[in-house]
Amino acid sequence: MRRKLVRQLDQPLPAAPDDKGSRALRPSDAEALAVLMFSAYRGTVDDAGEGPSEARAEVDRLLGGGYGGVDFAASEVIERDGRVVCAMLVTVYEGLPLVAFSMTDRDWKRRGLARGGLLRAMHRLRAGGATKVQLAVTAGNTPAENLYEALGFVG
């Protein structure tokens, strides 16, 4: 079951940490995002056995507007040692900002990268005038549910 969550942005938002490895998303990140997606989702509740080529197709779908137009300014990737290890991919879906994907490389999980990236993305959205942000999460995806609920997303 997919849970739809929303976070009001006109309510207080924790400060976003700086990250020297954070930068705006670029269309040329497609292959790096596919590698990241494959690593991040492997072994999670959302893993249905897809391989690297399915991950690339999913990234191409996202960048092609399949989840709404990509908001390159609000989205970000985080690099470590020249490699993309985390991404917050934001689109505009049915007129509202949507966090279409948040993902962290399996070797970089639980170090606060997604929390920091999501907070920076929310601050950028708010600075751009958005009053809420939406996303969908699979019920039982405990890491993601905990991350979102800790940042004030509610169902």
Ligand X SMILES: CC(C)(COP(=O)(O)OP(=O)(O)OC[C@H]1O[C@@H](n2cnc3c(N)ncnc32)[C@H](O)[C@@H]1OP(=O)(O)O)[C@@H](O)C(=O)NCCC(=O)NCCS
**Which residues lie near ligand X (CB under 6 A)?**
40-41, 44, 46, 86, 102-104, 109-115, 137, 141-144, 146-147, 150
Residue 118 Cα distances to 1, 9, 54, 63, 89, angstroms: 23, 12, 25, 19, 9
Closer by beta carbon to ligand X, 22 or else 102: 102
20-23 long-range CB contacts below 8 Å, 24 or more apart?
Answer: 21/78, 21/79, 21/80, 21/85, 22/76, 22/77, 22/78, 22/79, 22/116, 22/117, 22/120, 23/76, 23/77, 23/79
Instruction: In angstroms, give the least distance from the CB of 40 to ligand X.
Output: 4
Closer by beta carbon to ligand X, 63 or else 101: 101
Closer by beta carbon to ligand X, 116 or else 130: 116
Instruction: In angstroms, give the least distance from the CB of 2 to ligand X.
Output: 9
Which tokens is 20 given? Answer: 């020297």
Residue type, 93: Y
Which tokens is 136 given? Answer: 């969908």
Instruction: In angstroms, give the least distance from the CB of 152 to ligand X.
Output: 12
Instruction: In angstroms, give the least distance from the CB of 86 to ligand X.
Output: 6
Closer by beta carbon to ligand X, 8 or else 141: 141
